[in-house]
Every structure is written in structure tokens, then in C-alpha cells.
């Protein structure tokens, strides 16, 4: 899991290639902390590979602290946290709001991705 700390202008480049799950969070948000621990476990176990159509490519998880990057919060229209945004290359294909179990996260992200035609 990568905590984004760069220039907001560089965020698009950081998320433009491959599959990326973006975790919008804040340090004062208890559900965000719970979700963060769940995401760490999922990443360690390789759970996110199932999002990839072949199950082989890695899916990067990038965390964005909305207090540090309000412009990214606005750009992605984040109105509630925690919020996960799943992108394939440059296209958003799914969102998940709130702290969820591993199964709940995967269900939300794959269901939305199917609606987007992925």
C-alpha cells in the first residue's frame, strides 16, 4: 500500500497505468483506520488480483489523505469517507463507501465493475 505524498498534479500519472484501488481516508476517521487494516491484509494476501480479468496482474493500492489533498477529494467527488475508487488505466470502474469486510469490498468493486462493462 502506498501513501500518496506527491504533488497533486502528479496523482493522475501515479494512477494512470494498470489497476489501482484508491483509498480516500482521513486520520481522524475510525472507519477509515479499520478499512486501512483490511486493505493491508488484502494486499498482502493478493486478494485484489481477482479484480483483474486474468487474476495475474497486481492491483496497486494508493491511499489519499483528504485533509492533505482536498483538491483530489473534490476532483474525485468524494462526499463521504472511507471511499474506495477502483480504476483500470485511466477509467474509474467502481466505488465502495464505508468500512467493509474483505468479501464486502470485493463484492462492491466487482459488481460496479460489471455495470461499467469490465
Positions marked active-site: 29, 32
Q: Residue 1 carries which DSSP code?
A: -
The whole-angstrom separation of Cα 6 and Cα 8 is: 6
Q: Are 101 and 95 in contact (CB under 8 A)?
A: no
Contact (CB, 8 A) for 87 and 93: yes
CA atoms within 13 A on the CB side of 110: 14
Amino acid at each position: 500500500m502506498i501513501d500518496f505524498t506527491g504533488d497533486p498534479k502528479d496523482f493522475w500519472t501515479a494512477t494512470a497505468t494498470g489497476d489501482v484501488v484508491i483509498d480516500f481516508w482521513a486520520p481522524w476517521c475510525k472507519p477509515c483506520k479499520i478499512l486501512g487494516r483490511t486493505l493491508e491484509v488484502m494486499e498482502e494476501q493478493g486478494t485484489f488480483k481477482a479484480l483483474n480479468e486474468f487474476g495475474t496482474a497486481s492491483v496497486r493500492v494508493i491511499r489519499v489523505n483528504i485533509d492533505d489533498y482536498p483538491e483530489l477529494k473534490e476532483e474525485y467527488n468524494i462526499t463521504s469517507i472511507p471511499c474506495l475508487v477502483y480504476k483500470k488505466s485511466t477509467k474509474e470502474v467502481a466505488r465502495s463507501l464505508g468500512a467493509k469486510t474483505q468479501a464486502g469490498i470485493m463484492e462492491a468493486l466487482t459488481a460496479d465493475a460489471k455495470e461499467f462493462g469490465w
